[in-house]
Chain A
Amino acid sequence: MNYFPDEVLEHVFDFIASHRDRNSVSLVCKSWYRIEKFSRTKVFIGNCYAISPERLIARFPGIKSLTLKGKPHFADFNLVPHDWGGFVYPWIEALARCRVGLEELRLKRMVVSDESLELLSRSFPNFKALVLVSCEGFTTDGLAAVAANCRFLRELDLQENEIEDHRGQWLNCFSDSCTSLVSLNFACLKGEINLAALERLVARSPNLKSLRVNRAVPLETLQRLLMRAPQLADLGVGSYVHDPTSDAYRKLKDTMQNCTSIRSLSGFLEVAPRCLSTIYTICPNLTSMNLSYAPGISGAELIKLIQHCRKLQRIWILDCIGDKGLAIVASTCKELQELRVFPSDPYGVGNAAVTEEGLVAISAGCPKLHSLLYFCQQMTNAALITVANNCPNFTCFRLCILDPMKPDPVTSQPLDEGYGAIVQSCKRITRLSLSGLLTDQVFHYIGMYAKQVEMLSIAFAGDSDKSMLYVLNGCKKLRKLEIMNCPFGNVALLEDMGKYETMRSLWMSSCEITLGGCKTLAKKMPRLNVEIINENNQIEFNPEDRQKVEKMYLYRSLVGPRNDAPEFVWTL
C-alpha cells in the first residue's frame, strides 16, 4: 500500500463515507492518517462540548460539512434552563478565522444568535446549506443576512425553532441572482411574510424540490406557488382554509392534478373542515406524511385521507385518529416503516384516544415497521408481546404512556414482561424509551437482551440501583442514557465509572444521587465533565455532600470543563 501515490489513496478514500470506517482508515498508518485527515469533508459532533473548534479544525482542515448538537435531549422537555449553553458562535468564529471552506452547517438544540448568522453568511463564500433543528436565540434579521449574503444557498431548513419574528422582509433579501434553492422550510416562523417575494423566489428557483411554508401563507398563494413549482417533491402547507364554493378551491384542485412529483406532505397548520378532498389526487404517490401539527383535521377526515395513501412509508399523526383509524392505517399502508402518534391533549385525563389496540393492529398489518413513537393512554403486556412477535425488526421503539407508572390495566401488573418480549425479539433495537409501571425486572431483561441499544430513555421506573446497574453492565453499545424520576443513587452511579468514557453522555434528574457521589465521580474521572444544574439555588452556598442533586449531566470531553457555563451550572 505504500507504493500508491497519495492521489490514488485519496481517490479510494472518497468512496468511504461512513465516519466510523474513516476512523478505522486513519488508524492504519501515518500516511493513511495524513491523507484521510485532509480528505475528510463531513464531520458529525454529537456533543459540542466534547471537543473545541480549534482542535476540530486542526484535525480536519478540509472540513466542508459540520453537524453539531448542543443541549442534552431532555432540554426538549423544559428540563434544562434557558441559558445552559450550546452556543454556536465560537464555532463559526473559529471556522471563519481559520478560513475553512464551510459549505454546510447542521445544528440541533443550539443557541444561535443573529450575530453568528451574520458572521456565517459573510465568511463562507461557498456556503450552501443551513439546517437548524430545535434551536433558539435568533430572529428573522439573522435569516435576512443568510438570504442576502449566501449567494449559492441551496438549503435553508428551519425545523421547530423558536425564532423571534420581526415580521420580515427577510424573504426579499434573497438576491435576484439567487436561483440555486433546492430546499426551503420556514414552517416554524410565526409571523407574516412577504407573499410576493416568496412567489418571485419560487419562480426563479427551478431546482426547488422541497418547500414548507408557515401559517401566514394562505391557500391562494399556495396555489400560485404550486403552479410555478410543479416539480416539488416535498410540500409543507401553511394555511389551508378556503370556501369549498370559491374559485380558489377549483383552481387549487386543477393545480394539484399537475403536482405528480409530490412524495412528502406536511403542515396544514390551519385547516378548515371538508377542505381536504383537493389533496386526494396526490395521495396515491405519497411516501411520507406529517399531519402532527394539524389538530384542525378530525379523526374521520384523517382516516378518509389515509385510505388514499397506499404507499406511505412514514406517518406522523395525532392520536385523534383513534384505534379504529390505526386499524385502517394497518390495512392500507403495507409499506409503513415509521409511525409516530402524538397526543392531541397531553394533559388530558382518561381520554383514550389511542390504546394498545391501535398498536397491535399496526404491528399485525405493517410487517416493515421498524421505527415507532407512540403516545397512548394505556398498554398491556399481552399487546407488547404480540407486537414483539409481529415486528421483530424494530430499530427504534419509543412508547409513552401518558400517565406515568401506569400498570397493565387488565392484569394490574407492571409492564416488565411486555418490554422484555420486545427486547428479546427485536435484536436490532438501537433506541428505546420506556414508560408505564416498571420494576427492576425490565432492566434485567434490557441488560440481557438489548445488546445493540445505543440510546435509552427512562422515567418513573425501577425499584433500586440494580436497574441502573443491569443497564450499565449489559448494554455494551450504550452511548446515551437519560433518566428522570427514578430511585437510582450513588451506588449505581459509581459502580462502573469507566463506562461513562465509552458513552457520549449521562443525564440524571430527580433521582437519588447526591452531591458527594457526583464529586467522587468527577474526582476519579478527569476526562468527564460532571455538571450539576442548580436552579433556584436549591443547593446553598456551602452544601453538604449528602444533599441530593436534582439535575446532573455528565459527558466525556477532550477539552475539560467548558468556560461558558452560567452561574447555575457547576462543573465539579
Chain B
Amino acid sequence: MDYESDLNLKATELRLGLPGRDEPENQWPPILKNNKRVSAESSESSTTKSNSIVSNAETCHRDSAPPAKVKVVGWPPIRSYRKNNISQKKLDAEAGGMYVKVSLDGAPYLRKIDLKVCKSYQNLLKALEDLFKLAIGEYSEKEGYKESDYAPTYQDKDGDWMLVGDVPWDMFTSSCKKLRIMKRSEARGLGCF
C-alpha cells in the first residue's frame, strides 16, 4: 500500500521557502555567505544562523539565481556619502525626473521643481513654501486655499489653468505642464478663492 502517493504528503509537507517549488536536495547544507569565511559551524548566534539558512533556502528555489547576498557592513567599500548620493539619484534617474517650471506672481525669476521627488501634494506644497518662502496652507475641496494669500495652480495638457489639489496625485503629475502660484488679488475670477 502506497499511502504516500494517495495522501499526497508532499503537498502538505512543511518546508522552508516558496510553495509550489521542489526543494533541490543536493543544495544542503547551504553555503552561507556571511561575515565569516569559516564554515557554518562557527560561533554564530543560533538565530543568525537559522535566518541565514532560511534566506539561502529560499533562494535555492530559484533556478539559476545566485545565492542571496547577505549585506555585510563595510562591504562594498564605498563611502556612505557616495552610496547615499547614488541611491537617491538612481531613483531620480530611473524615474526620469519630472521637472516643471514654477512661477510666483511678482517674483523676478522662475524656479523648477521635480514632481517625482515630491510624491504627494503635501510634499509639493511644502516644497513650494520652502522655495518661495511663503505660506500656502491647506487645500480644501470646497474652498481651495482660503487661508492663504496664494493659490497654487497648474497648466494642464489642454492649456487650462487648474487649482492644484483637485485630482489624484498621479493624475496631476501626468497632466501638469507648469505651475503658477497666484496671488489672491489676481485670482478673483476663480470663485474658489
CA distance in complex: A118, B85 (Å):
29
Q: Residues of B contacting A400 with CB < 8 Å?
A: 76-77
Q: Does the CB pair B76–A78 fall under 8 Å?
A: no
The distance in angstroms between the C-alpha atoms of A368 and B192, with both chains bound, is 69
Against B, the Cβ 8 Å flags (1 = close, 0 = not) of A435-460 are 00000000000000000000001011
A220 within 8 A of B: yes
Q: A543 within 8 Å of B by Cβ? A: no
Bound complex: CA A77 to CA B85 (Å): 14
Asked if B83 CB lies within 8 Å of chain A CBs, one says yes
Residues in B whose Cβ lies below 8 Å from that of A241 = 97, 99, 112
Q: CB distance B35 to A485 under 8 Å? A: yes
| Residue ID in chain B nearest A159 by CB atoms | B81
Q: Which residues of B contact A162 (CB under 8 A)?
A: 81
Stretch at the interface among B36-44, B46-54, B146-154, B163-171: B36-44
A526 interfacial contact with B, CB 8 Å: no
Number of interface residues of B (CB under 8 A): 36
A218, CB-defined interface residue at 8 Å: yes
Question: From residue 460 to 491 of chain A, which have CB atoms closer than 8 A to chain B?
Answer: 460, 484-487
Complexed CA–CA distance, A346 and B79 (Å): 11
Asked if residues A295 and B81 are in contact (CB atoms below 8 Å), the reply is no
CB distance from A180 to the nearest CB of B (A): 29
In the complex, A418 has a CB within 8 A of chain B? no
Within 8 A of A (CB), among B53-71: 65-66, 69, 71
Q: Is A114 an interface residue (CB 8 A)?
A: no
Stretch at the interface among A143-151, A307-315, A337-345, A386-394: A337-345
Contacts of A375 in B (CB 8 A): 76, 78
Tell me the bound Cα distance from A350 to B86 in angstroms.
18
Is A347 a contact of B74 with CB atoms below 8 Å?
Answer: no
B81 near A487 (CB under 8 angstroms)? no
Cβ proximity bits A345-368 to B, threshold 8 Å, 1 near / 0 not: 111011000000000000000000
Cross-interface CB contact of B112 among A74, A218, A485, cutoff 8 Å: A218
In chain B, positions 84-140 with a C-beta closer than 8 Å to chain A are 85-86, 89-90, 92-93, 96-97, 99, 109, 111-112, 130-131
A326-339 interface code vs B (CB 8 A; 1 in, 0 out)? 00000000000000
Contact (Cβ within 8 A) B86 A346: yes
| Cβ-closest chain A residue relative to B64 | A350
Chain A interface secondary structure, helix, strand, loop or mixed? loop
- In the assembled complex, which residues on chain B have CB atoms less than 8 Å from the CB atom of A74? 74, 77
Q: Residue A57 at the B interface, CB < 8 A?
A: no
The answer to whether A77 touches B37 (Cβ under 8 A) is: no
Q: Which stretch (A8-16, A278-286, A402-410, A553-561) binds chain B? A: A402-410
**A402 lies within 8 A of B80 (CB):** no
When C-beta atoms are compared, the residue in chain A nearest to B99 turns out to be A241
Q: Is there a chain A Cβ closer than 8 Å to B3's Cβ? A: no
Report Cα–Cα, A309/B110, bound state, in Å. Answer: 34
Contact yes or no, A77 B36, CB < 8 A = no
Report how far A63 CA is from B112 CA in the complex, Å.
48
- Note all chain A residues with C-beta closer than 8 A to B131: 192
- Which of A342, A484, A548 contacts B82, CB < 8 Å? A342
Residues of chain A within 8 A of B33, CB atoms compared: 404
What is the 8 Å Cβ interface bit string for chain A, positions 152-164, against chain B (1 contact, 0 not)? 0000000011100
Inter-chain CA distance A486–B112, complex, in Å, is 50
Q: How far is the CB of A414 from chain B (nearest CB, A)?
A: 12
Tell me whether A347 and B86 are in contact in the complex, defined as CB-CB below 8 angstroms, given that A162-B81, A459-B77 are known contacts: no
Asked if A346 and B78 sit within 8 Å, CB to CB, the answer is: yes
User: Nearest Cβ in chain B — how far from A91, in angstroms?
Assistant: 23
Distance of A166 from chain B, by nearest CB (Å): 12
A292 at the interface (CB under 8 A from B): yes
Residues A345 and B90 in contact, CB atoms below 8 Å apart: yes
Cβ-defined contact, B76 with A79, below 8 A: no
**Given known A-B contacts A349-B69, A404-B75, A76 and B80 have beta carbons under 8 A apart:** yes
Q: Does B72 contact A (CB under 8 A)?
A: yes
Render A93-128 as a binary contact track against B, CB cut-off 8 A, 1 for contact.
000000000000000000000000000000000000
Residues of A within 8 A of B130 (CB): 167, 192
- Give A345 to B69 CA distance when docked, in angstroms: 14
Q: In angstroms, how far is the closest chain B Cβ from the Cβ of A324?
A: 20
Please determine whether A220 and B109 come into contact, CB atoms closer than 8 angstroms.
yes
Q: Is B73 an interface residue (CB 8 A)?
A: yes
In contact, A344 and B85 (Cβ under 8 angstroms): no
A295 CA / B36 CA spacing, docked (Å) = 33
Q: Which of A225-284 contact B (CB under 8 A)?
A: 241, 269-270, 272-273
Residues of A within 8 A of B75 (CB): 77, 404, 459-460, 484-485
**Interfacial chain B residues near A79, Cβ < 8 Å:** 73-74
A295 and B93 alpha carbons, distance in the complex (Å): 7
Q: When A272-B97, A295-B90, A296-B92 are in contact, do A77 and B82 touch as well, CB less than 8 Å?
A: no
Q: Is the CB of B76 within 8 A of A510?
A: no
Question: Given A296-B92, A346-B78, A404-B75, A485–B37 Cβ distance below 8 Å?
Answer: yes
Q: Roughly how many angstroms separate A510 CA and B111 CA in the complex, as a whole number? A: 50
Residue of B nearest to A461 (CB): B37
Some 18 contacts from A to B, beta carbons below 8 A apart, are A74-B74, A76-B77, A78-B73, A160-B82, A270-B89, A270-B97, A293-B89, A342-B78, A343-B78, A345-B86, A347-B71, A350-B66, A402-B76, A404-B75, A459-B74, A459-B75, A486-B37, A548-B43
A residues lining the B interface (CB < 8 Å): 74, 76-79, 134, 160-162, 167, 188, 192, 218, 220, 241, 269-270, 272-273, 292-293, 295-296, 318, 342-347, 349-350, 375, 400, 402-405, 433, 457, 459-460, 484-487, 509-510, 548
Given contacts A241-B112, A345-B90, A404-B72, 10 further A-B contacts (CB under 8 A): A77-B78, A160-B82, A272-B97, A296-B89, A346-B86, A347-B69, A347-B71, A350-B66, A405-B37, A485-B36
Closest 5 pairs (CB-CB, A-B) = A77-B74, A79-B74, A160-B81, A76-B79, A295-B89
